A and B are shown apart, each in its own frame.
Chain A
Amino acid sequence: MNINLTLIGQTIAFAIFVWFCMKFVWPPLTSAMQERQKKIAEGLDAAGRAERDLHLAQERAAQLLRESKEQASAIIDRANKTANSIVEEAKTQARTEGEKLIAAAKVEIDLEVNRAKDQLRAQVAVLAVVGAEKILESSIDGAAHNELVAKLASQL
C-alpha cells in the first residue's frame, strides 16, 4: 500500500488517455451530435413551413370553392332566366301561330261553307224544278222558267 513508481505510471497513462480522448473520441462524436441537432432543427423548421404552406393552400382552396360556388349559382340564375325567356318566347310564338292557324282554318271553313251553299243552291234549283214538274205533271219549258228558279235559289 506504499506509494511507488505506479504513481508516475498511472499519471502517464492518464495523460495518454486524456490526450487520445481529446484527439480521437471527443471531436467526431460531438460533431456528429451537433450535425444531428442541426438536421433535426432543419427538419422541424421544414415541418413548420410545410404546415404553414398547407394552411395557406387550404385557405386558397376554400376561397376558390367559395368563388366557384358563387359563379355556379350566377350561371344557374342566368340559365334559369334564359330558359324562362325562351319558354315565354315559345309560348307567344305558339299563340300567334295558333291564332294564324285558327284564322286560316276559319277562312277555309267559310270557303267550304260557301261552296257547299253554292252546291246546295244548284241542287235546290234542280230539285225545285223536279218538284214543280211532278206537281204540275207537265213539262215546263226549262228555258222559260230558268230565270224564275235562279231568282228563287239565290234567295235561299
Chain B
Amino acid sequence: MANTPSEYIQHHLQNLVYGEHPEKGWILAQTPEEVAQMGFWAVHVDTMGWSVFMGLIFLGLFRLAANKATTGIPGGLQNMAEMAIEFVQGIVKDTFHGRNALVAPLALTIFVWVLLMNSLKWIPVDYIPGLASLLGLPYFKIVPTADPNGTFGIALGVFILIIFYSIKVKGLGGFTKELSFTPFNHWALIPFNLFLEIIGLLTKPLSLALRLFGNMYAGEVVFILIALLPFYLQFGLNVPWAIFHILVIPLQAFIFMVLTVVYLSAAHEDHH
C-alpha cells in the first residue's frame, strides 16, 4: 500500500489492469510503469467487472419486474421499474420526434446503468481497494464512470448510433450534403462547412464522455483527499460531500441520457 499522500492518491486512481506486457506476457500490472508499457492491449478488470455487474443488476431487477408484471396493482419492484420507464418515456416523448423503437430502451439503459455505476462512489474509497489488497490485487478502482474508458465506451456506442441513423434516415448522400452545406449553403464554403460539422459531430461523444468522466473523477479525487485528513475531520467533510452526490450522481446520469436522446433526435431530422 501507499505511504505518502501522493502515492496514496496515485494508488487510488490506478485501475487494476490485465494486459500484454512486452516482456512478461499477459499479466496483471503491478506498477504504473507496467501499465504504460502495456499500451492499448490491456483491460481494466475493475472497470469492466463493476460495469458489467451493475448492468446485470439493472437488467436482472428490471427483467424480474417484467416477468412478474401484472396489469393489476403493481408491487414495489414493478412500481420502481414503471416509474423509471415513465420518466424516460416522458423525456423521450418531449425530446425525440422521430419514430424509433430503440431510443426509449436505450435511454432507459443509459440512465439506470450510469446511475448505478455512479452510485458506486458512495462506497467509502478505502473499502474495496483495501479488500482487494487483502486478496493480493495491487490496485482496485470501482467507479467505472470515473474511468475514461468506461464513459468513452458508452459514448462510442452512442456515436456509432448517431452515424448509423444519420445515414439511415438521410441516406449517405443526404448526410454528406448536410455536413457540406450547413451552416453556409454555398459550394465555395464546403471545406469550411465540413470542418465545422465534423468537429461538431465529434464533439458530441466527446462532450458526453468527458462531462460524465470529469464529474465523477473530480468527485472521486475529492473523496480521496478527504480520506487523507485525520479521521476526526473526515466525517465533517465526507458526509456533506456524499450528500451532495445525491444530487450529482442522478444528475450526471440524467444529462447523459438526455443528451443521447437529443443527439439521436438530431440524427433523425431531415432538413430536406
Q: Are B149 and A17 in contact (CB under 8 A)?
A: no
Within 8 A of B (CB), among A1-39: 1-11, 13-15, 17-18, 20-22, 24-26, 28-30, 32-33, 35-36, 39
State in angstroms the CA–CA spacing of A20 and B112 once bound together.
14
State in angstroms the CA–CA spacing of A8 and B153 once bound together.
6
List the A side residues contacting B67 at CB < 8 Å.
28
Q: Are B149 and A4 in contact (CB under 8 A)?
A: yes
- Contact A25/B19 with A2-B35, A4-B149, A14-B153 known, Cβ cut-off 8 Å: no
Q: Are A5 and B150 in contact (CB under 8 A)?
A: no
Within 8 A of B (CB), among A22-62: 22, 24-26, 28-30, 32-33, 35-36, 39
Question: By DSSP majority rule, is chain B's interface helix, strand, loop, or mixed?
Answer: helix
Q: Are A32 and B156 in contact (CB under 8 A)?
A: no
Question: By DSSP majority rule, is chain A's interface helix, strand, loop, or mixed?
Answer: helix
List the B side residues contacting A18 at CB < 8 Å.
102, 105-106, 109, 157
Interface size, chain A (Cβ < 8 Å): 30
Q: Are B48 and A26 in contact (CB under 8 A)?
A: no
State in angstroms the CA–CA spacing of A9 and B45 once bound together.
10
State in angstroms the CA–CA spacing of A18 and B104 once bound together.
10
List the A side residues contacting B52 at CB < 8 Å.
13
List the A side residues contacting B102 at CB < 8 Å.
18, 22
- Contact A5/B148 with A17-B55, A32-B69, A32-B71 known, Cβ cut-off 8 Å: no
Q: Which of A6, A15, A25, A39 has the most CB of B within 10 A?
A: A6
Q: Are A6 and B86 in contact (CB under 8 A)?
A: no
State in angstroms the CA–CA spacing of A18 and B102 once bound together.
8
The 8 Å CB contact of B156, one of A11, A20, A35, is A11
List 5 extra interface pairs beyond A7-B153, A28-B67, CB under 8 A. Answer: A4-B38, A10-B149, A10-B153, A26-B105, A33-B85
Q: Which residues of A contact B (CB under 8 A)?
A: 1-11, 13-15, 17-18, 20-22, 24-26, 28-30, 32-33, 35-36, 39
CB<8 Å pairs between A and B, sample of 11: A1-B13, A1-B15, A3-B148, A6-B47, A6-B149, A6-B150, A11-B157, A17-B59, A25-B105, A33-B86, A36-B74
